[in-house]
């Protein structure tokens, strides 16, 4: 029996790779560079499905030209900003994603960033790694404790809720803004702010967990920053496009924002170079989901979606609303 042809644009944990090799005739790229649009189209010619990552940009031009043999695009991500969903729907190509499996790993990274930023971990580690560590005066490398402080969570979905659980263990008080108020059973003692401006005014620490949409794009701009308490600390593990980089950098330079912990950046991996030059930034290369357990679960869910559509079943996690199921 001929195996379905699956375009595979990256490499994955062994369990995922083994399943690909077992169930599909894999069409793989030969290097670590993202495929250009022309090579993506060429790879898709005659293929049954595509297994992509956010590094692969599928715009309207791609869907206008893509082979009619392609029956599903599965992205190895929770975000889907890199795919033109309307164009995919016009071609009746369903788009699947991997929600619900990276919550805990991403929440761990959010807490790492929060603690790393608040305790000046970048500066402290630099002393150790460069051999510059000498006995410190009591007033050197003073950071900010998190216990008893208000953590504002912008976007109280699965990841935001997981961060809230962890932050409570550090004695933080949880406030949040969300599209709708959560039930008391889920929210617990968290304080809801219908207006995100009110959340900003309360947030001594601010952690971003909203999806990037036209409404949330560049949410954290100079006006929003001006509402934060002086010396607030900002964490972002959601999407780089939630932040206006120039505005946050200006606030970090002035001390209006004391520190920032960032795992995501607009136009990544080409982050704004001034972030790197600042001592009060704790920076990571988008590793929120980077555990063996989570990355394996994401790959298996993506392949579950491919398998379902190719076998005429409902896919477990199609992107809601704008991509159609083909059965």
Contact predicate 220/234, CB 8 Å: yes
Q: What is the pLDDT of residue 122?
A: 97
Instruction: Determine the Cα–Cα distance for residues 121 and 97; give it in Å rounded to an integer.
Output: 34
- The 10 Å Cβ neighbour count of residue 236 is 23
In a domain, 323, yes or no: no
Nearest by Cα to 150 from 167, 135, 138: 167
Contact predicate 269/294, CB 8 Å: no
Residues 265 and 139 both lie in one domain: yes
Q: What is the pLDDT of residue 322?
A: 46
Residues 51 and 158 both lie in one domain: no
Which residues are part of the catalytic machinery?
A: 239, 268, 286
Helix, strand or coil, per DSSP, at residue 137 = coil
In a domain, 133, yes or no: yes
Using CA of residue 282, residue 284, residue 286, residue 288, what is the dihedral sign? negative
The domain containing residue 46 runs over which residues? 5-101+291-310
Q: What is the pLDDT of residue 31?
A: 64
In a domain, 89, yes or no: yes
Residues 86 and 111 both lie in one domain: no
Residues 110 and 256 both lie in one domain: yes
* Ranges in the chain, pLDDT < 50: 322-327
Q: What is the pLDDT of residue 69?
A: 97
pTM value?
Answer: 0.90
**CATH, residue 41:** 3.40.50.720
Residues 94 and 107 both lie in one domain: no
Q: What is the pLDDT of residue 35?
A: 74
* 3-state SS track over 45-85: CCCCEEEECCCCCECHHHHHHCCCCCCEEEECCCCCCCECH
Instruction: Determine the Cα–Cα distance for residues 125 and 103; give it in Å rounded to an integer.
Output: 28
Residues 112 and 16 both lie in one domain: no
Q: What is the pLDDT of residue 33?
A: 62
Contact predicate 275/85, CB 8 Å: no
Residues forming a β-bridge with 162: none
Instruction: Determine the Cα–Cα distance for residues 27 and 49; give it in Å rounded to an integer.
Output: 10
In a domain, 318, yes or no: no
pLDDT 10s digits, 217-237: 999 999 999 999 999 999 999
Helix (H) or strand (E) holding 6: strand 5-8
Contact predicate 185/208, CB 8 Å: no
Residues 209 and 221 both lie in one domain: yes
Residues 24 and 165 both lie in one domain: no
Q: Which two tokens stand for residue 89?
A: 């729907």
Helix, strand or coil, per DSSP, at residue 152 = strand
Residues 143 and 224 both lie in one domain: yes
Domains in the chain, number: 2
Instruction: Determine the Cα–Cα distance for residues 184 and 179; give it in Å rounded to an integer.
Output: 15
């Amino acid at each position: 029996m001929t195996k379905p042809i699956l375009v595979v644009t990256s490499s994955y944990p062994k369990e995922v790779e083994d399943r690909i090799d077992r169930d599909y005739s894999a069409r793989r790229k030969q290097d670590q560079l993202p495929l250009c649009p022309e090579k993506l189209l060429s790879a898709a010619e005659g293929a049954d499905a595509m297994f992509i990552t956010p590094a692969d940009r599928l715009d309207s031009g791609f869907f206008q030209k893509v082979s009619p043999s392609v029956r599903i695009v599965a992205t190895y991500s929770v975000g889907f900003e890199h795919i033109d969903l309307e164009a995919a729907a016009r071609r009746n190509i369903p788009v699947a994603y991997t929600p619900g499996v990276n919550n805990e790993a991403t929440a761990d990274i959010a807490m790492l960033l929060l603690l790393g930023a608040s305790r000046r971990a970048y500066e402290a580690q630099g002393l150790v790694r460069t051999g510059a560590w000498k006995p410190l005066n009591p007033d050197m490398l003073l950071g900010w404790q998190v216990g008893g402080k208000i953590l504002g969570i912008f976007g109280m979905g699965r990841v935001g809720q997981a961060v809230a659980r962890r932050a409570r263990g550090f004695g933080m008080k949880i406030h949040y803004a969300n599209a709708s108020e959560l039930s008391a059973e889920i929210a617990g003692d968290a304080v809801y702010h219908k207006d995100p401006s009110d959340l900003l005014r309360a947030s001594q620490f601010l952690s971003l967990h909203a999806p990037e949409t036209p409404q949330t794009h560049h949410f954290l701009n100079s006006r929003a920053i001006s509402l934060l308490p002086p010396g607030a600390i900002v964490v972002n593990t959601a999407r780089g496009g939630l932040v206006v980089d120039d505005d946050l950098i200006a606030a970090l330079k002035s001390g209006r924002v004391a520190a920032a912990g960032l795992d995501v950046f607009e136009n990544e991996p080409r982050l704004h170079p001034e972030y790197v030059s600042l001592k009060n930034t704790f920076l990571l290369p988008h590793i929120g989901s980077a555990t063996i357990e989570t990355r394996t679960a994401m790959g298996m869910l993506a392949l579950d979606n491919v398998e379902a559509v190719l076998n005429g079943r409902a896919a477990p996690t199609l992107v809601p609303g704008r991509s159609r199921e083909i059965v």
